[in-house]
Structure 1
C-alpha cells in the first residue's frame, strides 16, 4: 500500500537514467553519441558536481526533450515507478512550464503555450492503475524576465485543478539583484490565494531572510539551522516546513558529508520546525525516497521516531493532500480486530 508523500521533486530531474537512455536511443541518439554504452551515460548523469550551477546544467538536457508530445511518456514512467518502487501516495511535481515550450517561438507565444503544458502534465499524472494523488508546483525562474514569471503566477491561479503552488528556482545565488521583483511576485501570488514555496537557504549564497515571510514552505532551507539558527523561532511561529533533500547536498558540493545534516535535524526538532524529507531530483541522483529515509537512519542522523515525525509532517504540509490523515492511519484502522473496529465506529 502507498504510504509516503513527496513534496519536492523536479520534473526535469525525475527521469531515471535508464528511462532517459532508452528514450534517447529511440528518438534522439545524437544526444548520447558521446557515450560508448549505458554505464558511461549513467555515470555522467548521476555523478556529483562541484557547484549548484554545474548541477543545474543537467536539467537542460532533460528539459530539451520534455515537450507537449513527450511529457506523457516520461510522466507515465515517473508515476509508475513512484507507486511501485517508492510507495508514494502523494506527489508534487515542480517545473518551469515556459522551459517546455518551443524555443523558436516568441516570448508571448511561449507564454501562451504554457497552459497546454500544465494540462498535459496534469492529465498524464492521473493514472487509474497507479493511484497517486498528484499536483503541480509551477516554478518561476531566476534566469527568466519578470513578465514570464508573472505569467507563471497567473497561470497557477488559472489552473487550480492541476496546480497547488508556485516556487522560484534556477539557482539561489541569482535572486539578490532582483529581490524587489521576487517580493512583488510572491506578494501578488499570496493575494490570489496561491500557496507558496521557494528554493531558499539551500546554499550559503541563497540566504535571503526578506523572502521568508512570503513562503508557506521552504525549499531546502538547510542553511537556516546551520548558519542562522536565530531564525528558527520565526520559522516555527509561521508554521513553515523545510523540504530537506539529503542526497542533493552531496551532489551539488553544498555539504561534504551527509552527517552534517544531523545538526539541521537536531536544531529543527528542538525549535519545533517541521521537516519533510524529499528527493529533489530522483533521476539525477538515481535514488528513491525510501533510500533517503534509510540513509538518514543508517548514519544516525535521525531516529525512527523522528523519521515518522517527518513523514507525518510531509502529509500535514502537503498543499493538495485531500484527507485529514496520512495513509498509514487508514491502513491501521483496516487492520484492527473486528471488535476494535466496532468500538472505533461507536466512538
Structure 2
C-alpha cells in the first residue's frame, strides 16, 4: 500500500492520527513545554533566567546530548508539588491522545527530583493521579518506568529503588518496570549490573538507553548484562552486523526517536536516518518522541516527518504502529484487541 507521492500531507497526517499506537520512549520531564514551565515557576515562586516562554524556546539549540541534559535538568527544577507532576503528565497525555496514542509507557527520573528535596512520594502521587484520570476519561492506558540516571553512581540508583519499593503496592496498576537514561559516555550498562539484577529478582520489566551516543557494545551490554527486553534508541546497533542479526532473531524492539536524533546531532539530516533501513531489514522498530517539548515534535510529528523524509509507505507506517503495540508491556489479550483495532483503521480508505 504505497504512499502516493502526490498525497495531501494533511490527509496522510489524518490517516496516521487514526492509527492506534503506543508510545514507549517518553520522558515525562521532557514534555515540559515552556508555557507550562513559566506557569509552574510562577506558582512556586521560582525566577527563570529567560524573559518569557518564547525566549526559553529559542534557547533549544543543542550541540549534543549533554548540552540538552543541562537545560533539561534545570527546567525540571520548577516541579515541586503533587499538583505540578499531575499537570505535567496530564498535559502530555492530552497531546498523546490527540495524536492517536492509546497506550503510553512513561519514563520518569525520581533522582532528578529527590536531589532537590522533593519526596519520591510526591512524584509518584502526582504522576499516578494524571495517568488514572486519563485512563478513566480518555481511555488512554499507561504505565510507569522508573528510570535511573546513569551519570550518577549505582549506589544512588540502589538507594532510589529502596526508597520507591514501599510504594509499589499502591501503584501496582502503573509502576511495572525500570529504565536507564542520561549521558551514555563513560557510563556503560555494566555499571548498573547489581541494580538490574535486583529489579529482575523483583519481577520488574527492564529497558535501557543504549546505542544513541554510545557504541554498539552498549547495546550488547544492555542485553547481556542488564537483561533488558527493549533497547531505547539503539540506532548505532547497525554498525555491528552480528548484533543487528541478533536483534532481528530475538525480535528485540528498538524505541527509535527520529526528531530527537536530529535535534541532538545523532544524524545531520533526517533523510539519512537509518530507521527505514532497520525496519526493512526486519528489526522491530518503533517510533517515539523522547523529549518532545525540547525536540519540537510529539509522536505524530515523528511519524509524519519520517514518512516524508524516508519515503515510508503506508504498509511500513502501519507496521511501525503495530510494532509499538506488540513491543509494549501490555497483556497479550490487550495487545490482540488493539492490533485488531489497528487492522480496522488501516483498512479504512
8 Å CA contact 2:247–2:283 kept in 1: the answer is yes
Q: CA, structure 1 residues 66+301, in 2 after alignment: closer, same or farther (shift >3 Å)?
A: farther
Q: CA deviation at 1:189?
A: 1.9
CA distance in 1, matches of 2:180, 2:114: 18
SS of aligned partner of 1:172: coil
Within 5 Å, which residues of 2 pair with 1:114-153? Answer: 114-127=120-133, 128-153=136-161
Alignment of 1:246-285 (within 5 A): 246-261=258-273, 263-270=274-281, 272-285=282-295
Post-superposition offset of 1:89: 0.8
Instruction: Specify the alignment match of 1:203 in structure 2.
Output: 213
Mapped partners of 2:161, 2:212: distance in 1: 23
Aligned equivalents of 1:190, 1:126: Cα separation in 2: 26
Deviation at 1:152, TM superposition (A): 4.0
* C-alpha distance in 1 between matches for 2:150 and 2:329: 23
Structure 2 counterpart of 1:186 = 196
SS in 1 for 2:54: helix
- Unaligned ranges ≥5, structure 1: 105-109, 337-347
In structure 2, the partner of 1:65 is 78
Match runs of 1:306-345 below 5 Å: 306-320=316-330, 323-325=334-336, 327=338, 329-330=340-341
Mapped partners of 2:193, 2:346: distance in 1: 48
**Which consecutive unaligned segments of at least 5 residues does structure 2 have?**
1-17
**2:63 aligns with one of 50, 53, 57:** 50
The TM-score normalised by the length of structure 1 is: 0.82
- How far apart, in 2, do the equivalents of 1:43 and 1:335 lie? 38
**Residue 14 of structure 1 is aligned with which of 31, 34, 53?**
31
Asked if 2 retains the 8 angstrom alpha-carbon contact of 1:156 and 1:194, the reply is no
Larger radius of gyration: 1
TM-aligned CA deviation for residue 21 of structure 1? 3.2
Deviation at 1:91, TM superposition (A): 1.1
Asked if 1 retains the 8 angstrom alpha-carbon contact of 2:37 and 2:78, the reply is no
Residue 237 of structure 2 is aligned to residue 224 of structure 1: yes
Task: Kindly indicate whether residue 298 of structure 2 is the aligned counterpart of residue 288 of structure 1.
Answer: yes
Deviation larger for 19-28 or 216-225: 19-28
Which residue of 80, 95, 98 maps to 2:108?
A: 95
Can you list the C-alpha shifts for 1:136-194, whole angstroms capped at 9, x where unaligned? 11111113332331244453693532212111111111313xx5442232233223221
- Counterparts in 2 of 1:163 and 1:305: CA distance versus 1, 3 Å: same
Offset at residue 206 of structure 1 (A): 6.9
Higher deviation after alignment, 201-210 or 88-97 = 201-210
Instruction: Provide the alpha-carbon RMSD of the alignment.
Output: 2.7
Aligned mates of 1:3, 1:335 — CA distance in 2: 10
- What is the CA distance between 1:25 and its match in structure 2? 4.6
Shift of 1:253: 1.6
Q: Distance in 2 between matches of 1:292 and 1:164?
A: 26
**What is residue 15 of structure 2 aligned with on the other side?**
none
Change (3 A) 1:131 1:264: closer
For the residue of structure 2 that corresponds to 1:324, the secondary structure is helix
Partners of 1:119 and 1:162 within 8 A in 2:
no
Q: Distance in 1 between matches of 2:223 and 2:178?
A: 14
Change (3 A) 1:65 1:238: same
Q: CA deviation at 1:83?
A: 1.6
